[in-house]
C-alpha cells in the first residue's frame, strides 16, 4: 500500500502598521473612484461611463439617420461589454447626455420621456429610445477605424474598447461636467461651441497667447438655460486659476397686467435652478409672503412649456415693482453661484486646469490624432500604390502573364514565377516567353493582385480608370506626407475641420456676460424676536424659533456644531482661517422646522468653504462687548477690541497675515489669565495674556513664540483661575496649567513622549 504523502503548509503572518494599510487602501480606493468614475478625461471631456455608452451606441450602429433603439438595449450592451456596474447609473448617464437643458450640446438624441427642466425624471429605460446625434458621430466618434486611439481590453478581456474617444472639439469646455470623487470634485460650466473653436484657432496661430487674450474669443460660460453672468470682472481670475465662483442671475422682465397691475416675469433661470430648484423658487416666494416680508404679491403661476421658461408673479397695483424684483433676486434662487473647479484627468493624473491648459491639451491631442490618422491613411495609399503599379505593369505584359498562368499546374507555381522569375514547372509556348518570364520581379502583393484580376478589368476604359486612380493615389500620398512632415499643414488641416464643425453645429450664445451691481431692496421692519442660529458640521445653516429649540434641545445640541441664541434682526460673525470676518444677516436665513436642512453658509455670506475654514462664530453683539485674541500658526498674536468689527460690510479683514500664515484660534478674552501655545514638533510655552498687546484689526500682531522654520503652532489653550486643561502630546497627557510660566516670545520647552 502506497504511503499517503502529506503536505505541510506553514502559516505566514505579515506584520504591518494598521494605519499604513488603511492609508494605502484608502488612497487606492480614492484614485480608483477618481480615475474610473467621477472625473472626465481632458481629451474627450467624458467620464468612463459616458464614453462606454457612446461607444456601445456606435457599435450598435445607432447613427443619427438610423431608427431609434430601446434604451434598455443600449444599457444592456454597455453593461455587459464595457461597464460592469449598475444599470441605473448607466441609464442616468445616457439620460443626462440627451438633456439639452443640462448640456451645452446634447450628445444623444432621445425619443420619449427623458425628463424635464423642472426635475421630472425620465421614463424607465424599457419605454425610451435613443440614437446618436450627428454632432456626436462627426465630432467625437469619427475616425475610430483609422487607428487614431488605443483600444484596451474590457473588464473580462473578451472585448476591446477605446481608452479615449477621438474628439475633434474640447467637449470638456463645450458641455461642462460635474463629478464628486473622494477628496476631490470637478465642476465645469458649459461654453459656446463657436467661441471655443475660435479660441482654439487663436491659440494655434499664437501659442504664447494669454488667458486674457483667449477671453476675447471665449467670453465666459454659455449655459443652456440662458441667464446672466453678473461678475464679468472675476472671470479672468477663475479661468487663470481653474477655480472660483460664477454669479448667475435669471432674466426678469416687467410686463403690464390688467387693471393697472404689473407682472414680474422670469423668462430665463440660472443654470443651478434646473430641476427641483424651480419648485423651491416658487416655495421661497410663498415663504416671503408667509413671513410678511412682502404683501405686494397677488399670485404666482408657472406657465413654462416646451417653448421655454415663463414664471409669472402678479403684483398689486401701485407696488414698488423694482424693489420687489430685487427682493426676489436676493431672497430666492433667482440669483445663485456656480462653483467652478476645472479638475480633469490630464496625462494620467487629476489636475486643476486653466482655460489655456485645456485648450493646449486639446490641440496636442488633435495633433496626435491626426498624426495617427494620416499615418494610417498613408500606409493604405502606399499599399494601393504598390498594387496599382503592379497592375499597370502587368497590363504591358498581360499576354505573358496569361501564358504563365495557363502553363502552371498550381497557383503557387505561377505566383513564384511572377515574384522570383522561376520558370520550373511551367509550359511556355516559346523560349522567348520563358526568358521574359525569368525577368519578372513583382512583389508578393502585386502578384496576388494579378492572380486575383478579372479579365474584364483589361478593357481599355478599366485600364484608364486604373491609371486615373493611380494618379489620385500619388496625390493623396503627397498630401498625407505634407501633413505629417509640415506642422503648418497639420494645423491648417485641424483648423479646417474645426471650421466645418462650427459652420454645421455652432449656435448663438444664450447667456449674457455683464457686470451687474448687487441687487438691493428695502425690507419691511419686522417684529424683533429671539431665535437660535444653527449650523451643522457640513456648513448648512438655519434659524429656528425658541419653542422649537426648547422642545428639541438635546437633539439640536447633538446634531449641530454651532447653536447660538440671537435676535432675528441680528447678525452672526464668522472668523475664518484666512483672517477675514464674514457677517450673516439672520433675516437671510430661512426660519425652519425641526427637520429642515437649511442652506449652505456660502450662499448667504461671502464665506468660501473651498478656500477657508471657520475658526470662531458668535453674534455681532457678543463681538462688540469683548476683546478677541487672535493666534496664527506662525505664532503671531494680538488682542483686538470687538468694537472694531461693528461695520456694515459683509466681509472685513479681521487681521493681517504674512505669506503662508493662517489663523488657528480666535477667542473672546473675559477672565482668562494665561495662554499656552503647543507646536507640531512638541514645543510648549505658557505666559500671561497681558503680555499680548492690544492692536488694530489691520495689524499683524506680535510674536508669541519662537519657531523653527519647519514648526508651527497647532494648539492654543486659554486658562482662567482654576482651569487645568489636558493636552495629549506624543501619546502623553500633559496638564497644561502645570507647564512652567515664562515670558512671551521664547522657544518654549520640548515635551518628551
∠ Cα 139 140 143 (to 5°): 90
∠ Cα 234 235 237 (to 5°): 75
The sign of the CA dihedral 735, 739, 743, 747 is negative
Q: Is 580 helix (H, G, I), strand (E, B) or coil?
A: strand
Partners of 243 in the β-ladder: 341
Residue 448: partners with Cβ closer than 8 Å, 6 or more residues away: 415
Phi first, then psi: what are they for 416, rounded to 5°? -65, -40
Gap between the terminal Cα atoms of the chain? 67
Q: Output b/e per residue, 204-219; b: 16+ Cβ within 10 A.
A: beeeebebeebbebbb
Please name the residue ranges forming H helices in 5-139.
18-33, 48-59, 71-77, 87-98, 134-136
Partners of 599 in the β-ladder: 541
Residue 239: partners with Cβ closer than 8 Å, 6 or more residues away: 211, 214, 215, 354, 355
Closest CA to 169 of 372, 375, 369: 369
At 309, list the grid cell: 421658461
Q: What is the DSSP-derived secondary structure letter of residue 706?
A: -
Distances (CA, A) of 402 to 424, 425, 433, 455: 16, 15, 11, 10
Let me know if 543 is exposed, middle or buried by CB neighbors in 10 A (0-12, 13-18, 19+).
Answer: buried
Closest CA to 107 of 79, 135, 144, 71: 135
Please name the residue ranges forming H helices in 187-334.
193-205, 211-214, 235-241, 276-290, 321-331
Q: What is the rounded distance in angstroms from the CA atom of residue 48 to the CA atom of residue 55?
A: 10
DSSP notation for 75-109: HHHIIIII--S-HHHHHHHHHHHH-TTT-SS--EE
Q: What is the rounded distance in angstroms from the CA atom of residue 414 to the CA atom of residue 419?
A: 9
Judge contact between 607 and 614, C-beta under 8 A: yes
Residue corresponding to grid cell 432675528: 568
At 4, list the grid cell: 499517503
Let me know if 606 is exposed, middle or buried by CB neighbors in 10 A (0-12, 13-18, 19+).
Answer: middle
From 82, 91, 127, 614, the catalytic residue:
127
Q: What is the rounded distance in angstroms from the CA atom of residue 439 to the CA atom of residue 565?
A: 106
Partners of 580 in the β-ladder: 653
Residue 335: partners with Cβ closer than 8 Å, 6 or more residues away: 230, 247, 248, 249, 250, 270, 329, 519
> Pairing relation of β-strands 571-576 and 580-585?
antiparallel
DSSP notation for 475-517: HHHHHHHHHHH-HHHHHHHHHHHHHHHHHHH-----SEE-B-P
Q: What is the rounded distance in angstroms from the CA atom of residue 48 to the CA atom of residue 53?
A: 9
Q: Is 562 a catalytic residue?
A: no
Q: Which residues are catalytic?
A: 127
Amino acid at each position: 500500500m502506497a504511503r499517503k504523502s502529506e503536505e505541510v503548509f506553514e502559516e505566514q503572518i505579515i506584520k504591518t502598521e494598521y494605519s499604513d494599510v488603511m492609508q494605502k487602501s484608502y488612497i487606492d480606493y480614492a484614485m480608483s473612484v477618481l480615475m474610473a468614475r467621477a472625473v472626465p478625461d481632458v481629451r474627450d471631456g467624458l467620464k468612463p461611463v459616458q464614453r462606454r455608452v457612446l461607444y456601445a451606441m456606435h457599435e450598435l450602429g445607432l447613427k443619427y439617420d438610423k431608427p431609434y433603439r430601446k434604451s434598455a438595449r443600449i444599457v444592456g450592451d454597455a453593461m455587459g461589454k464595457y461597464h460592469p456596474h449598475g444599470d441605473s447609473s448607466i441609464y442616468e448617464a445616457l439620460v443626462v447626455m440627451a438633456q439639452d437643458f443640462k448640456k451645452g450640446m446634447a450628445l444623444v438624441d432621445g425619443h420619449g420621456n427623458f425628463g424635464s427642466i423642472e426635475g421630472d425624471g425620465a421614463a424607465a429605460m424599457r419605454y425610451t429610445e435613443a440614437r446618436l446625434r450627428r454632432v456626436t458621430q462627426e465630432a467625437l466618434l469619427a475616425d475610430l477605424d483609422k487607428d487614431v486611439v488605443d483600444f484596451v481590453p474590457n473588464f473580462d478581456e473578451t472585448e476591446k474598447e477605446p481608452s479615449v474617444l477621438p474628439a475633434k472639439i474640447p467637449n470638456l469646455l463645450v458641455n461642462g461636467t460635474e463629478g464628486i470623487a473622494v477628496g476631490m470634485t470637478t465642476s465645469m460650466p458649459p461654453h459656446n461651441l463657436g467661441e471655443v473653436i475660435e479660441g482654439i484657432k487663436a491659440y494655434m496661430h499664437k501659442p504664447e497667447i494669454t488667458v486674457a487674450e483667449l477671453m476675447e474669443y471665449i467670453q465666459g460660460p454659455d449655459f443652456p438655460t440662458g441667464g446672466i453672468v453678473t461678475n464679468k470682472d472675476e472671470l479672468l481670475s477663475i479661468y487663470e486659476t481653474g477655480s472660483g465662483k460664477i454669479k448667475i442671475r435669471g432674466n426678469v422682465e416687467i410686463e403690464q397686467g390688467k387693471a393697472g397691475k404689473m407682472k414680474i416675469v422670469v423668462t430665463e433661470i440660472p443654470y443651478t435652478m434646473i430641476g427641483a430648484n424651480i419648485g423651491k423658487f416658487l416655495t421661497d416666494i410663498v415663504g416671503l409672503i408667509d413671513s410678511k416680508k412682502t404683501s405686494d404679491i397677488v399670485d404666482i403661476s408657472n406657465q413654462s412649456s416646451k417653448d421655454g421658461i415663463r414664471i409669472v408673479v402678479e403684483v398689486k397695483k401701485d407696488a414698488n415693482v423694482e424693489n420687489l424684483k430685487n427682493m426676489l433676486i436676493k431672497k430666492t434662487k433667482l440669483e445663485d453661484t456656480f462653483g467652478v473647479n476645472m479638475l480633469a484627468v490630464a496625462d494620467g493624473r487629476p489636475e486643476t486646469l486653466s482655460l489655456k491648459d485645456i485648450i493646449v491639451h486639446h490641440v496636442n491631442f488633435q495633433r496626435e490624432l491626426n498624426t495617427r490618422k494620416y499615418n494610417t491613411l498613408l500606409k493604405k495609399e502606399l499599399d494601393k500604390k504598390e498594387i496599382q503599379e503592379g497592375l499597370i505593369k502587368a497590363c504591358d505584359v498581360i499576354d505573358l502573364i496569361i501564358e504563365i498562368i495557363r502553363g502552371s499546374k498550381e497557383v503557387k507555381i505561377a505566383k513564384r514565377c511572377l515574384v522570383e522569375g522561376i520558370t520550373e514547372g511551367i509550359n511556355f509556348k516559346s523560349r522567348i516567353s520563358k526568358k521574359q518570364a525569368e525577368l519578372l520581379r513583382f512583389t508578393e502583393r502585386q502578384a496576388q493582385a494579378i492572380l486575383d484580376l478579372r479579365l474584364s478589368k483589361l478593357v481599355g476604359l478599366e485600364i484608364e480608370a486604373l491609371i486615373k486612380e493611380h494618379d489620385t493615389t500619388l496625390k493623396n500620398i503627397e498630401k498625407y506626407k505634407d501633413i505629417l512632415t509640415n506642422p503648418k499643414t497639420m494645423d491648417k488641416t485641424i483648423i479646417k475641420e474645426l471650421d466645418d464643425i462650427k459652420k454645421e453645429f455652432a449656435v448663438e450664445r444664450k447667456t449674457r456676460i455683464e457686470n451687474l451691481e448687487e441687487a438691493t431692496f428695502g425690507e419691511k421692519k419686522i417684529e424683533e424676536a429671539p431665535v437660535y442660529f444653527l449650523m451643522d458640521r457640513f456648513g448648512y445653516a438655519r434659524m429656528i424659533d425658541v419653542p422649537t429649540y426648547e422642545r428639541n434641545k438635546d437633539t439640536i445640541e447633538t446634531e449641530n456644531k454651532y447653536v447660538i441664541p440671537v435676535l432675528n434682526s441680528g447678525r452672526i460673525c464668522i472668523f475664518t482661517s484666512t483672517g477675514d470676518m464674514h457677517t450673516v444677516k439672520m433675516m437671510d436665513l430661512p426660519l425652519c422646522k425641526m427637520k429642515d436642512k437649511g442652506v449652505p453658509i456660502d450662499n448667504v455670506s461671502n464665506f468660501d468653504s473651498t478656500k477657508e475654514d471657520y475658526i470662531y462664530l458668535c453674534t455681532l453683539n457678543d463681538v462688540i462687548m469683548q476683546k478677541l485674541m487672535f493666534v496664527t500658526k506662525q505664532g503671531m498674536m494680538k488682542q483686538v477690541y470687538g468694537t472694531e468689527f461693528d461695520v456694515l460690510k459683509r466681509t472685513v479683514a479681521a487681521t493681517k497675515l504674512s505669506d503662508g500664515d493662517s489663523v488657528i484660534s480666535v477667542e473672546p478674552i473675559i477672565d482668562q489669565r494665561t495662554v499656552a501655545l503647543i507646536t507640531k514638533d512638541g514645543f510648549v510655552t505658557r505666559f500671561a495674556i497681558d503680555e499680548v498687546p492690544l492692536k488694530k484689526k489691520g495689524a499683524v500682531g506680535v510674536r508669541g513664540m519662537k519657531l523653527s522654520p519647519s514648526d508651527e503652532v497647532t494648539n492654543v489653550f486659554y486658562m482662567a483661575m482654576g482651569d487645568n486643561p489636558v493636552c495629549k502630546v506624543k501619546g502623553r497627557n500633559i496638564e497644561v496649567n502645570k507647564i512652567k510660566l515664562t515670558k512671551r516670545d521664547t522657544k518654549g520647552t520640548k515635551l518628551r513622549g
